[in-house]
Amino acid sequence: MRFTGKTCIVTGGGSGIGLAASLQFAREGARVVVADLHVEAAQKTVDAITAAGGTALAVAVDVGDSGQVQACIAKAVSAYGSLDVIVNDAAMMTFTPIAEIADADFFRVITTNLGSVFYFARYGLAHMNDGGAIVNLSSVHAHATTANVVPYAASKGAIEAFTRGLSIELTARKIRVNCVAPGAVDTPMLWNNPNVKSGAEKVTGAIGKPEDLAAAICFLASSDAAFVNGTTLIVDGGRLAAL
Ligand SMILES: NC(=O)c1ccc[n+]([C@@H]2O[C@H](COP(=O)([O-])OP(=O)(O)OC[C@H]3O[C@@H](n4cnc5c(N)ncnc54)[C@H](O)[C@@H]3O)[C@@H](O)[C@H]2O)c1
């Protein structure tokens, strides 16, 4: 029960990795704020947590909208008093070559994936208890990628740099900031990816479960990782290691 008495916000908690992480935080005693664009999905996560005897709150938020992020944080603080953990999991992809992509689509990916990490830090830190943790979801695409997903890969690379820099700013408060970089994980995001459907991105043989990622996220958020700061934990079943 590593999170008894702690409050955790998990964005994207309505599906996939965020759903699994929300359930694990709750199993380990946390009050979980399940924040998602699709509030019905977030509510289903909350219903599963409360049915198992846990405590959780669903909040509708577009993580790429500063005002909505501020409102989400205000709801979390109003319900539970302060914050201990923020998991920035919600993200999106586009599948258009850079020579063809519309400006708005490029910046929507950057704002949703990277802007959200900034917004939750910028407005969440004032409410975070010293000793807390931020865990950001990167991707193996920050390290090796495929065609037509440049905005996504760029946003994930930037999240890792943002994480490193922010960790230095927060050392005095002992708030640790780390990334988890998943490989292929069995979620809707993986199976809706046209590059995966076409075989351009090969995932055979190295597909993780959302629970594998939840374990890594909760480790980095917990005091088990007290000496882990400003880094990225690649959780990909060894995929990046293979030629
Ligand atoms: N599944 C994989 O293979 C894989 C691989 C590498 C990285 N990741 C990363 O893991 C994280 C979770 O991915 P997943 O596979 O669980 O995805 P998923 O599609 O199963 O879930 C993503 C959740 O985020 C929510 N969301 C999307 N845009 C949002 C927004 N603007 N505001 C609020 N919520 C929003 C969706 O409603 C959904 O509930 C993402 O950051 C993703 O980039 C996933």
pLDDT digits (tens, 9 = 90+) for 105-139: 999 999 999 999 999 999 999 999 999 999 999 99
Pocket test for ligand 1, best of 10, 11, 15, 109 (most atoms within 8 A of CB): 15
Report pLDDT for 49. 98
Q: Per-residue pLDDT averaged across 37-48, rounded?
A: 98
Contact indicator for 235, 181 with CB cutoff of 8 Å: yes
Pocket test for ligand 1, best of 92, 189, 213 (most atoms within 8 A of CB): 189
Q: Per-residue pLDDT averaged across 202-215, rounded?
A: 91
Q: Does 123 participate in catalysis according to the annotation? A: no
The answer on pLDDT for 176 being more than 90 is: yes
For residues 201 and 182, give the distance between their C-alpha atoms in angstroms, rounded to a whole number: 15
Q: How many CA atoms lie within 13 A of 120 on its CB side?
A: 33
For residues 22 and 37, give the distance between their C-alpha atoms in angstroms, rounded to a whole number: 15
Closest residue CA from atom 23 of ligand 1: 12
The answer on pLDDT for 243 being more than 80 is: no
Contact indicator for 235, 213 with CB cutoff of 8 Å: yes
CA of 189, closest atom in ligand 1: 19
Ligand 1 center–CA 171 separation, angstroms: 28
% the chain with pLDDT above 70: 100
Q: Domain extents for the chain?
A: 7-236
CATH of domain 7-236: 3.40.50.720
Its pTM stands at 0.98
Mean pLDDT in the chain? 97
Pocket of ligand 1 (CB under 6 A): 11-12, 14-18, 36-38, 41, 61-64, 89-92, 112, 137, 139, 182, 184-185, 187-190
